[in-house]
Amino acid sequence: MFDDNSSLAVTGEAITDPTQFQQLISQLSQFYSQFENESQFPQLGQQKSLIMQTVTQTFLSDENKQKFSPSSSDSSALLSVVTFLRLMLREFDSNTLCITSEPMFQRILELYKVIDDQKKSNLLKFEILKLFINIVHVNSRSRPVLVDTLSEIIDPVRSLLQSGNVDQQERETIYFLVNRLVFYALFASEDCLKTWEQYSELIRSFWCLDDTSRLISSRNIVEVLKSLYNLSVHHEQDEQKTADLFNLDCLRFLRNLLKSHVEWTSYKKIDVQLFEDNGRIRIQLKELPVAQFDTFDKNTSDLTLVKHCFQVLMMVPNSLMGHIVCQVSDNEVQQEAVPQTELPIDINIVYGVLRVFFALLDQESEFAWLHTPLLTFLIKACKALPNLRYELFNGINSQDWSIRSFDMALVDALPAKKRKYKKRFGKLNGIPGGLVKDNLERLMTHYQYNFKSAVCQLLFTVCEEDQNEYTLQFGVGNTIGYLSEMGLFGMGQ
């Protein structure tokens, strides 16, 4: 391919001769099929620059415009060039800058818009959409062009969806490609504000927040969450725009997403009974049966989706946090008849977040990136909702709220030296693996700063940010570091 034995002259100039043009297209197809699934990219050396110039100039040449037209009887020439360009963008360097230039972007867009809605043309549409994504991914300077032409890119695939000439897999692909393009259009602050101002309704139509089943796959939901996060960051200083972003559909979407991934209703109560045996007082622990419903499994759950979900939840205004963690109906939200501070806490969500936290704690090195977001979400919710602070304070200090209360699997996951307590459902005297409070106390002196800081902040918030209560509940040794950082040590009695 493109070697000295080839009869095709690669000079960096456009190829317009019909015979040589067909030979170029044939070689591009062979090159793509050879390296499409290869992990290592071919070394083209100094010839790469000439190859790229030849292909792009041939593609931009007005003499070849009709040859690349998708409306012609044979659109294989356009497909060959598009797939070749995508392949070359795997390794972006100065030689491939010509691919991401504005003239190339506009020429590709010009051809893309005239592709018909016939099913046989779907592959070509998808490949061009992927090429747009590749271009804006490797070259941020092309993103303003994307912003200006976003509607022109999305309209043809929206028309394709409405035509019905797509199967379920193709529908999923369309949603993914469009939402990935939207993510790049919303990435930079200036681009984000301009894009949302012009295309907010169009973008929301592809987010499907009112019916996420249309998104089909979790990778589409991840793209929606990434775009939501970009918008919330860039609109953080504007309360009105933030409120418009987190409307009723968005809040319901986030709540349902949270429930579907971390909701947990298998909270097990333990009946503690004292009895006398030969003059000695003994403790008998008995687990009370309850129905189990657990939506989280660390082996099968999409933890990337969970991470992005919590990133967006961090950006929800405190005034709206009750719609995420409280039991609230749509009528109550719309009428705003009940203040969120008076709504009952959906304890299954709160327990679910803690359950996920403890479930991942035994594999700390693998999931360290998810621990802090879980705790930060609880901190934010506690700051917004006094009733949640009260619920967690009572739960953490309850003598029957043990690790075993959450799940036997959590006890099984503890280090071997602690497993001997699992048959007794966790010790109640401070042994690690017992009370939730004991486990949180151990984490207050964790070696990783961000992690222990998040644990301390959660417990401090639960204690109504009262340094005296905080020290009383968790001890001077555990609390002195955090209080000193906050400038509060020594201020209490």
pLDDT above 60 (res 488):
yes
Which phi and psi angles does 11 have, rounded to 5°? -115, -5
CA 400, CA 192: separation in Å to the nearest integer? Answer: 49
Structure tokens given for 46: 């100094």
Give the pLDDT score at 412. Answer: 44
Number of H helices, E strands in the chain: 23, 2
Structure tokens given for 186: 């919303």
Which of the two residues, 154 and 98, has the higher pLDDT score? 154
Give the pLDDT score at 417. Answer: 41
Give the pLDDT score at 126. Answer: 92
Ranges of H-type helices in 208-346 = 218-234, 239-245, 248-262, 303-313, 322-325, 330-335
Place of tokens 């070849």: 64
CA 287, CA 405: separation in Å to the nearest integer? Answer: 9
pLDDT above 90 (res 459):
yes
Q: Quick one: average pLDDT of 104-121?
A: 86
Q: Quick one: average pLDDT of 364-383?
A: 83
Give the pLDDT score at 16. Answer: 85
Which of the two residues, 334 and 166, has the higher pLDDT score? 166
Taken in order 117, 120, 124, 127, the sign of the CA dihedral is positive
pLDDT above 50 (res 79):
yes
Of all residues in the chain, what percent carry a pLDDT higher than 70?
A: 76
Give the pLDDT band (50/70/90) at residue 296.
low
Give the pLDDT band (50/70/90) at residue 273.
low
List b or e across 12-49, with b for residues whose CB sees 16 or more CB atoms inside 10 angstroms.
eebbeeeeebeebbebbbebbeebeeeeeeeebeeebb
pTM for the structure as a whole: 0.81
Q: Which of 66, 149, 74 lies closest to 113, judged by CA?
A: 149
pLDDT above 90 (res 258):
no
Give the pLDDT band (50/70/90) at residue 470.
very high
Q: Quick one: average pLDDT of 379-386?
A: 91
Give the pLDDT band (50/70/90) at residue 363.
low
Give the pLDDT score at 224. Answer: 93
Give the pLDDT score at 302. Answer: 78
Give the pLDDT score at 403. Answer: 58
Which of the two residues, 48 and 324, has the higher pLDDT score? 324
Give the pLDDT score at 239. Answer: 83
CA 13, CA 59: separation in Å to the nearest integer? Answer: 11
